[in-house]
Amino acid sequence: MFNEKDLEKIKAGKKKWTEGTLAKTLSKAPEKKAKTTWSGTPVECLYTPAEVAGLDYENKLGYPGEYPYTRGVQANMFRGRFWTMRQYAGFGSAKETNARYRYLLGQGQTGLSVAFHLPTQAGYDSDHPLSMGEVGKVGAAIDHIGDIRILFDQIPLDKVTTSMTVNAAATVLLAMYMSVAEEQGVKYDQLGGTIQNDVLKEIICRGQYIYPPKPTMRLTVDLIEFCQKYVPRWNSISISGYHIRESGSTAAQEMAFTIADGIAYAEACAARGIAVDDFAPRLSFFFNAFTDVLEEVAKFRAARRVWAKIMKDRFKAKDPRSMMLRYHVQTGGVTLTAQQPLNNIVRVALQTFATALGGHQSLHTNSYDEALCLPTQGAVTVALRTQQIIAEESGACVTVDPLAGSYYVEYLTDKIEAEIFDYIKKIDAMGGTLTAIEQGYIQKEIQNSAYLFQKSIDSGERAYVGVNKYTMEEPPVTDLLRVDMKVGEEKAVELKQWRAKRDNAAWKKALDKLREVSKTDTNVMPTVIEAVKAGATVGEVCDVWREVFGQYRPKEFIS
């Protein structure tokens, strides 16, 4: 982008400035500590064309909607349409959650995102001994197709898109969703949405695994293959870096390990015999957004470029849609402080701003009270309004990729890209993502970053407002959202009735068939659909697979 002569001049100019003007300032007032990004990358005082001398505009940045997609996957990005505003929500019963959805849709939210309680995610019914105390706590208590009917009552499934955070049990919940849509008269090919279906990051860091890696990957690919054939508008996986970052990774590690997972899924789909351009356009991603705006923007841009290169060069994709990194973002839950919780509104606003400048497809903004409890309705409203303010008022959306060409942002983008490729190379050398996970490599890298971060907070080297600096005495926050323990008792009674009133013979036949099909190479999805229609619960379907596939017991790695 710069000619040799100009670059030489700038290099000489910067040297002169460093030794002259800057040195004079520093001699009077030395900088107290080294400056870094929030992830710990050292940052210089000043960036000039000299630090981005290799910035070949046409090849590295190009144009939005075109390879390598550094500047965005759509030509005009938010000028045409804002991102989908999609708040992750669910608590208590299906009925309470349905009321929250209808409230959010009434407030201008444009997509749904289902939070299931942990028993559903771990494949247990609400009355299982391991579900004790958990029912309805961090999501809606969903056990069977009847619950899904209530969850989407009066919500037309051909009009909204829905995201479902469920992984090891993804096939079961998608089967229920598709069946309820069918009851509403909506055809499979009219359904739009996303299912997380990313079991690798459950093993790495999120903990909602059920089966060992191999069979759980088989279920993942079964779902992808089924959607590719019958639910073409559905994003059949959401490869997630969000939880990797929450667990303590740096920004570059978040992207590197997520892309490594993406490679593993793409390889698994290819091994199934699905052509790359048949599955890759429906691979979607999910990332975090922290408060260091410029680092986050660089991270998103770098990841888009890396994914495009990998799909083109490594997987030989031809369809441009296969090369587009499309992603959902959630603001950083772990960045929220329990101290002075109103400060979190500012953090979320900056994270939203970073996300918009980075060019995403959909967003969940956290509520300011989430370091204390599940969000109250008032706090959710502020979170949604934050998105609306950034979209409508901030100026971030009037032009595409507005930070392109910033020497600092381009420098960071290149640096993060290089870090991602370094990790991919290392993981390839180990034998691939699954091996790297089995050996605990990825887990230990993340834990080590979490440790270094904690040390920097404990020592005061890094300031965290309200935590280790600008602290104050404050009264405990009251009026928190509480989920009544009664939800568990009521659900247990309801489940008993559900099991009593279903056609027992049809139910047994469906589960027997599922058991047999699961032992073969046949795609399980059609059989799962039959089973949930016959009244099988999440726990019952997952139990069949526990029997056939066994259960995953992780090795614990403490770095």
Binding site residues, other proteins, CB under 8 A:
118-119, 121-122, 124, 129-134, 137-138, 202, 205-208, 246-248, 334, 337-339, 371-374, 447, 450-451, 454, 457-458, 464, 466-468, 476-478, 480, 483, 485, 554, 556, 558-559
The letter for the amino acid at 77 is: M
Run of H or E including 381: helix 377-393
Sign of CA dihedral 537, 543, 549, 555: positive
Choice between 249 and 527, CB closer to other proteins: 249
Radius of gyration for the chain, computed over Cα atoms and rounded to the nearest angstrom? 24
- Partners of 84 in the β-ladder: 362
Largest distance between two CA atoms of the chain = 87
Choice between 138 and 155, CB closer to other proteins: 138
Give the shortest CB-400-to-other proteins separation in angstroms: 35
Give the shortest CB-482-to-other proteins separation in angstroms: 8
Token digits of residue 320: 């441009």
Choice between 40 and 554, CB closer to other proteins: 554
Quote the strand ranges of 297-415, DSSP E.
327-331, 362-364
Residue 4 backbone dihedrals phi, psi, to 5 degrees: -55, -40
Give the shortest CB-129-to-other proteins separation in angstroms: 8
Q: Quick one: angle between helices 504-518 and 538-549, nearest 10? A: 30
Residue recorded with tokens 């197709």: 145
Give the shortest CB-131-to-other proteins separation in angstroms: 8
Give the shortest CB-194-to-other proteins separation in angstroms: 20
Give the shortest CB-476-to-other proteins separation in angstroms: 3
Choice between 334 and 391, CB closer to other proteins: 334
Check whether the bond before 215 is cis (ω within 30° of 0).
Answer: no
Contact, 390 vs 356, CB < 8 A?
Answer: yes
210 vs 194: CA distance, rounded Å: 21
Choice between 338 and 506, CB closer to other proteins: 338
Token digits of residue 158: 């051909």
Choice between 39 and 361, CB closer to other proteins: 39
Give the shortest CB-553-to-other proteins separation in angstroms: 8
500 vs 205: CA distance, rounded Å: 38
Choice between 381 and 468, CB closer to other proteins: 468
Choice between 141 and 294, CB closer to other proteins: 141
Give the shortest CB-426-to-other proteins separation in angstroms: 22
Give the shortest CB-537-to-other proteins separation in angstroms: 16
Report how far apart, in Å, the C-alpha atoms of 369 and of each of 184, 349, 372 are: 36, 14, 6
Residue recorded with tokens 């009251």: 478
Choice between 40 and 466, CB closer to other proteins: 466
Choice between 72 and 136, CB closer to other proteins: 136
Give the shortest CB-377-to-other proteins separation in angstroms: 17
> Would you give the distance in Å from CA 452 to the centre of its chain?
23
> Would you give the distance in Å from CA 154 to the centre of its chain?
28
Burial grade of 58 (CB within 10 A; 0-12, 13-18, 19 or more): exposed
Choice between 121 and 250, CB closer to other proteins: 121
Report how far apart, in Å, the C-alpha atoms of 78 and of each of 72, 74, 113, 361, 365 are: 10, 9, 21, 9, 18
Give the shortest CB-466-to-other proteins separation in angstroms: 8
82 vs 397: CA distance, rounded Å: 8
